[in-house]
């Protein structure tokens, strides 16, 4: 299940090709309050958009048929968001509770 979540996250986070200026632009997509950093709530809200787009029947569950490649186990929005919170904390390498542009665009560790 985690592998499929990472596949989904990888589809939503095209990080490898981002240049320094693009990092700041990318951060602004997440930064809903414009403070120059991304909180856990902002990260989860932005990343949940992908779940919502894939949840074609809008039942709060990504069924196997809604997952990339039509493979994997169903996952609820809550479980998806719990995984995003764990991912946020792995990305928050300086442990300040926010992601800066460098942390946001780093590969999940």
User: What residues make up the domain containing 57?
Assistant: 2-104
Structural domain includes residue 60 = yes
The alpha carbon dihedral of 29, 109, 53, 20 has a sign of positive
For residue 36, the model assigns a pLDDT of 95
Residue 7 lies inside a defined structural domain of this protein: yes
Query: For residue 44, what pLDDT is reported?
Result: 98
Q: Do the domain assignments include residue 88?
A: yes
The predicted pLDDT at position 1 comes to 57
109 falls within a domain:
no
Q: Report the domain count for the chain.
A: 1
**Do the domain assignments include residue 27?**
yes
Whole-number pLDDT of residue 108: 72
The CA-atom distances, in angstroms, between 96 and each of 16, 37, 104 are 24, 11, 13
pLDDT of residue 10: 55
Q: Do the domain assignments include residue 51?
A: yes
Phi, psi for 80 (deg, rounded to 5): -60, -45
Q: What is the CATH number for 81? A: 1.10.238.10
Q: What are the pLDDT digits (tens) for 4-56?
A: 555 555 555 554 444 557 888 999 999 999 999 999 999 999 999 999 999 99
Q: What is the pLDDT of residue 60?
A: 96
């Amino acid at each position: 299940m985690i592998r499929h979540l990472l596949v989904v996250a990888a589809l939503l986070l095209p990080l490898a090709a981002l240049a320094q200026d693009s990092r700041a632009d990318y951060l602004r997509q997440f930064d809903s309050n414009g403070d120059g950093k991304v909180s856990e709530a902002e990260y989860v809200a932005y990343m949940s958009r992908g779940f919502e787009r894939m949840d074609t029947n809008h039942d709060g569950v990504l069924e196997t048929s809604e997952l990339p490649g039509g493979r994997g186990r169903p996952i609820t929005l809550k479980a998806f968001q719990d995984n995003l919170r764990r991912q946020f904390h792995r990305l928050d390498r300086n442990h300040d509770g926010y992601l800066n542009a460098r942390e946001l665009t780093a590969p999940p560790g």
